[in-house]
Copies of this chain bind each other. A is one copy, B any other.
């Protein structure tokens, strides 16, 4: 059983995946490893993955057979497991709990060589719909506090398999970064009685120089204090707090903006590796405070290598002003 441990100084939770414990030799082998062989995410190889959780099929085909447009499966090497109780407990001065939760893979398309940026808008909308549906399903489980959806594109961004996919980790604790955003949103609201994200979107759209793209419901901007070159945020214009709580119009608007920003990033930066992460409200405190977290997607191209220092200090050096990045992306 994986374990969650809490740092006694900063309160940060860490997953210690003790079941797949890696020893020094495992890392050394990995460094030289090359990929190859059969892709377990391609149609026809459904038996190579754990049985699917859900799938979208044109016709009413059998589960775990070909004919799907999108497929959701459990991660074969889950960081957290669905069985068991959290059992929060102490060990001396330290805090730990069982690593319960869920770890799923969203296989976005049957086509191995397409990336999310290459899918048509309908295809991207299906991916956004799958994110939403899985979020709604997992929140029925009272042990789950947060559903973290993210996408790694490219090997140096942490993608182990080429076939287009996203991941979902449902956790029994709220990630630290989300807590920080909640604190920031609360503090701003106490001072101004407005949402800082709503203010930011309005200001960016009126100033214009950091806007990459907008449609009726969504804006894509390079944030004023971008940590990374060509970092972008996709933010709903309305104050939406719950990634699971929107309808078809928002799905279409989000898919349109997501496709546009990924397409432009790919065009300007030569298919650069990237990570994106959906930031949304924790599941159990959504209605407990004003104004609630404004959900958004943060997209981080992996262009710079000077990362260890940033991890440790929380201090980022970005060699590309966001105004210049926005101009490149806007014109792409």
Interface residues of A (CB under 8 A from B): 5-18, 20-24, 27-28, 79, 92-94, 148, 150, 152, 155-158, 169, 171, 175-178, 180-181, 184-185, 188, 196-197, 199-200, 203, 207, 223-227, 229-230, 268-270, 272, 274-275, 277, 279, 298, 300, 302-303, 305-322, 324, 328
Contact = CB atoms under 8 A, between A and B. Distances in A.
A318 B14 contact: yes
Nearest to A305: B158
22 contacts: A5-B224, A6-B225, A9-B184, A9-B185, A9-B188, A14-B315, A15-B315, A16-B321, A20-B319, A22-B320, A24-B268, A24-B270, A24-B328, A92-B203, A150-B309, A150-B312, A157-B305, A175-B314, A177-B312, A274-B308, A275-B309, A298-B312
Contact of A308 (B157, B224, B229, B314): B157
A272 B311 contact: no
A13 B226 CA distance: 10
Which 9 A-B residue pairings sit nearest by Cβ, starting from the closest?
A275-B308, A176-B314, A177-B314, A277-B312, A158-B306, A7-B225, A9-B184, A5-B225, A175-B315
Contacts of A203: 92-93
A176 B310 CA distance: 10
B225 A313 contact: no
Given A225-B6, A225-B7, A315 B275 contact: no
A28 B270 contact: yes
Contacts of A157: 305, 308
A109 to B, nearest CB: 21
Contacts of A303: 22, 27
Nearest to A302: B308
A22 B229 contact: yes
A176 B14 contact: no
Contact of A177 (B11, B156, B313): B313
B318 A156 contact: no
Given A268-B24, A269-B24, A308-B275, A316 B224 contact: no
